Amino acid sequence: MSIGVLIVDDSATMRGLIAAALKRDPDIEVLGFANDPIEAREQIKKLNPDVVTLDIEMPKMNGLDFLEKIMRLRPTPVVMVSTLTQAGADVTLEALELGAVDCVGKPVGGVTAAEAFGELTLKVKAAAKARVKPYSGPAAPAERDRDYRASDVILAIGSSTGGVEALMTILATFPETCPPTVVTQHMPATFTKSFAARLDRISGATVTEARDGDRLQQGHVYIAPGGEMHMEVTSSSHPVIRLRAGEPVNGHRPSVDVLFESVARLNRPAVGAILTGMGRDGASGLLAMRQAGARTLGQDEASCVVYGMPRVAFELGGVEKQVSLSRMGPAILNLCSAADIHRSA
């Protein structure tokens, strides 16, 4: 059964490029087009698409306002098509918070449509399987964990599709004394700095985009820069972040597997958590961490937007325990405390 897609964009050229990319996959059917949100609303009612691709900047109503209406009244999987600029990154992150499943960048600066939309079919297919929830307004401020006992246990987290909401939910519970935390989230290069800044505003921790040579510290969360480099933690008297060139692993750069495997090699107390996302990136790395003595968690199926990466990790034996997103923050901090107690015993 094919996946029906509605393309919403005010540019006829862009609508054509998106359609051409999607039509290369026999499992996807382009049901129709809309050049503004008013037309899109009627097309959604008429065509009942499985997935909507949505531009942000359009006449009559901007994409964010329209997305909020969709997610409140008729929750539908949406893939945002965004300009890969700083302003585009900020707005797209808002869209992901509102409930968009994923995003893809428009071709710019010599990038061909084939290159820009290379992952579009995969993201549309993942979106078609995603669990979308009605948007009920901004989340209430999370209560930070006041019982956490500071530790030097290294925490490594990996996520992909749906990871923006998951990471915001988890890190909002982190206190100022959280364990040194490294995160690889699959995200375009221009987005990770803005994402780190958004996380920094809601977390008790200091959240930054990682830089090569950063020394891991308590109370700090380091987000892998998107696109160009893999992030590792190197073994030394004091763990240090290294950003290194390399081919994509499992189709991704940075790769969760690369991060997890580097932590597994440290021979230090560690905790690993794998969150919502399509594919299998991070599954074998989490297993390596567990085999090296780390404690490990996986997000459970019911709370995942896409139960891909956590499912494969669980099936491989890398997940010690599956936890709902609402409980993941406290569960992580409890394990970090327990791991540090185990080390000290």
Would you name the residues annotated as active-site residues? 160, 186, 281
Say how far apart CA 19 and CA 14 lie, in whole Å: 8
Q: Is the alpha carbon torsion for 284, 197, 141, 97 positive or negative?
A: negative
Kindly state the DSSP code that residue 297 receives in the 8-state scheme.
E
Q: Which candidate, 58, 28, 24, 26, places its Cα nearest to that of 41?
A: 58
Helices 86-98 and 63-73 pack at an angle, to 10 degrees, of 10
Q: Is residue 262 within 8 Å of residue 233, measured between CB atoms?
A: yes
Say how far apart CA 283 and CA 301 lie, in whole Å: 15
Kindly state the DSSP code that residue 223 receives in the 8-state scheme.
E
Q: Is residue 294 within 8 Å of residue 319, measured between CB atoms?
A: no
Backbone torsions φ then ψ of 227, nearest 5 degrees: 95, -50
